């Protein structure tokens, strides 16, 4: 019998692309997409879709039982920037939803969980360059605190109750299908949209703010790969460091200018600058590369080409194929 998958938070930036990928890999009948509302019609109108409130245990459990789900991808979360505006809401959403799925697995109602962590688990006392897997984690954002504590709980449920939970620490994710919402790394998506639409962008981070980033296709590949790996190969049950590339706003702007020479960026840092300053500039992900053979594909120039091509089609500003 094939596995039955539930994605919670399927309308969001990563959830939506994960839904397309999992439907593709396992068939539309084996993938249940869910979210708190139908904000992404491309997801809710194109396959099995349920309204699920990730904070409500009964809502999650009913959906799991109705569809005989054995694997849950918990993608619902409040991200770093929004979390600073609504600390208690961020705590409640990020922690309650995690406990609900961990407890469903503890009670053997589901078998396997994917839960995303983030580079936000790191803080100002963490070494910023090539940040190791095991190091000081003193996050300064509520989002980071929920991810750090969540990692501890994942490992605890694995050790105490043999819950098969797998996790990666996502860097900033760049994609063109669904906009991100409420993160500090969102500038790296917005900049492409504005380059294509208006040839101008006001960046909320300083020009030289270096952060770890990854193209969506690589992030989805990592997510699927860690979930398909043999249980014995998943040696870290808190969360794996994961890396692809690192760049600054100035570097993305320069790579866009190669294609759109009159693109202009002004830098007006806001409260998100402090968050970015507290995060690593680059990540050492050697455990992921060793344990489950993680390898990234997309470099900055590849990402720029693909983003400008896809957004050009979306906004009707180009008709040529990428070189």
Q: Which of 73, 143, 157, 192 is catalytic?
A: 143
Do residues 171 and 213 touch, judged by C-beta distance below 8 A?
A: yes
List of E strands, 175-253: 200-203, 211-215, 240-241, 245-247
Among 119, 121, 165, 189, contact with ligand AKB (rule: CB under 6 A):
119
Do residues 176 and 311 touch, judged by C-beta distance below 8 A?
A: yes
Q: Which is nearer to ligand AKB, 190 or 264 (CB)?
A: 190
Q: In degrees to the nearest 10, what's the CA dihedral of 42, 46, 48, 50?
A: 30
Q: Among the candidate windows 179-187, 191-199, 217-225, 291-299, which touches ligand AKB by CB under 6 A?
A: 179-187
Among 10, 32, 79, 205, contact with ligand AKB (rule: CB under 6 A):
79
Query: Least distance (Å) from ligand AKB to the CB of residue 158?
Result: 22
Q: Among the candidate windows 24-32, 46-54, 65-73, 181-189, which touches ligand AKB by CB under 6 A?
A: 181-189
Strand partners, 267: 203
Q: Among the candidate windows 37-45, 62-70, 117-125, 225-233, which touches ligand AKB by CB under 6 A?
A: 117-125
Q: Among the candidate windows 116-124, 156-164, 189-197, 215-223, which touches ligand AKB by CB under 6 A?
A: 116-124
Query: Least distance (Å) from ligand AKB to the CB of residue 290?
Result: 23
Q: Among the candidate windows 57-65, 180-188, 230-238, 288-296, which touches ligand AKB by CB under 6 A?
A: 180-188
Query: Least distance (Å) from ligand AKB to the CB of residue 111?
Result: 26
In 3D, which of 38, 34, 307 has the Cα closest to residue 196? 307
Among 80, 97, 175, 209, contact with ligand AKB (rule: CB under 6 A):
80
Compute the distance between CA of residue 289 and CA of residue 220 in angstroms, rounded to an integer: 15
Among 94, 148, 178, 184, contact with ligand AKB (rule: CB under 6 A):
184
Do residues 128 and 281 touch, judged by C-beta distance below 8 A?
A: yes
Using CB under 6 A as the binding criterion, the count of chain residues that bind ligand AKB stands at 11
133 CB-near residues (< 8 Å, 6+ apart): 236, 240, 241, 284, 285, 286, 287
Among 118, 148, 223, 241, contact with ligand AKB (rule: CB under 6 A):
118
Q: Which is nearer to ligand AKB, 31 or 203 (CB)?
A: 203
Binding flag, residue 172, ligand AKB (CB under 6 A): yes
Binding flag, residue 185, ligand AKB (CB under 6 A): yes
Interior/surface letters 272-288, b for 16+ CB within 10 angstroms, e for the rest: bbebbbbbbbbbbbebb
Do residues 238 and 155 touch, judged by C-beta distance below 8 A?
A: yes
Q: Measured on CA atoms in the order 127, 187, 18, 294, is the torsion positive or negative?
A: negative
Among 73, 170, 187, 298, contact with ligand AKB (rule: CB under 6 A):
170
Integer distance in angstroms from the first to the last C-alpha of the chain? 43
Active site (annotated) includes residue 143 = yes
193 CB-near residues (< 8 Å, 6+ apart): 179, 311
> Residue of minimal CB distance from ligand AKB?
183
Q: Which is nearer to ligand AKB, 44 or 184 (CB)?
A: 184
Compute the distance between CA of residue 13 and CA of residue 222 in angstroms, rounded to an integer: 15
Catalytic (active-site) positions: 143
Q: Which residues of the shown chain bind ligand AKB in the complex (CB under 6 A)?
A: 79-80, 118-120, 143, 170, 172, 183-185
């Amino acid at each position: 019998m094939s596995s039955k998958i539930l994605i919670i938070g399927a309308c969001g930036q990563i959830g939506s692309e994960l839904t397309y990928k999992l439907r593709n890999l396992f068939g539309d009948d084996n993938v249940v997409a869910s979210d708190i509302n139908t904000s992404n019609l491309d997801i809710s109108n194109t396959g099995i879709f349920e309204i699920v409130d990730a904070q409500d245990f009964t809502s999650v459990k009913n959906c799991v039982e109705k569809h005989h789900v054995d694997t849950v991808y918990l993608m619902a979360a409040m991200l770093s920037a929004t979390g600073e505006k609504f600390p208690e809401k961020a705590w409640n959403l990020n922690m309650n939803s995690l406990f609900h799925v961990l407890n469903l697995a503890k009670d053997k109602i589901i078998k396997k969980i994917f839960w995303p962590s983030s580079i936000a688990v790191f803080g100002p006392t963490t070494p910023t360059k090539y940040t190791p897997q095991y190091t000081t984690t003193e996050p300064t954002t509520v989002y980071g605190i929920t991810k750090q504590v969540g990692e501890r709980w994942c490992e605890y449920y694995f050790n105490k109750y043999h819950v098969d939970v797998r996790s990666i620490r996502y860097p900033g994710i760049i994609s063109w299908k669904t906009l991100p919402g409420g993160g500090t790394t969102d500038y790296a998506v917005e900049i492409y949209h504005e380059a294509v639409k208006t040839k101008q962008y006001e960046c909320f981070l300083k020009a030289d703010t270096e952060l770890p980033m990854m193209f969506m296709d690589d992030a989805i590949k990592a997510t699927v790969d860690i979930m398909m790996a043999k249980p014995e190969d998943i040696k870290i049950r808190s969360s794996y460091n994961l890396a692809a590339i690192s760049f600054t706003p100035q570097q993305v702007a320069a790579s866009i200018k190669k294609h759109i020479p009159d693109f202009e960026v002004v830098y007006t840092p806001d409260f998100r600058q402090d968050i970015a300053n507290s995060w690593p500039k680059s990540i050492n992900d050697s455990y992921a590369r060793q344990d489950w053979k993680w390898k990234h594909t997309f470099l900055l120039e590849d990402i720029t080409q693909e983003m400008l091509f896809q957004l050009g089609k979306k906004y009707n500003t180009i008709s040529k194929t990428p070189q």
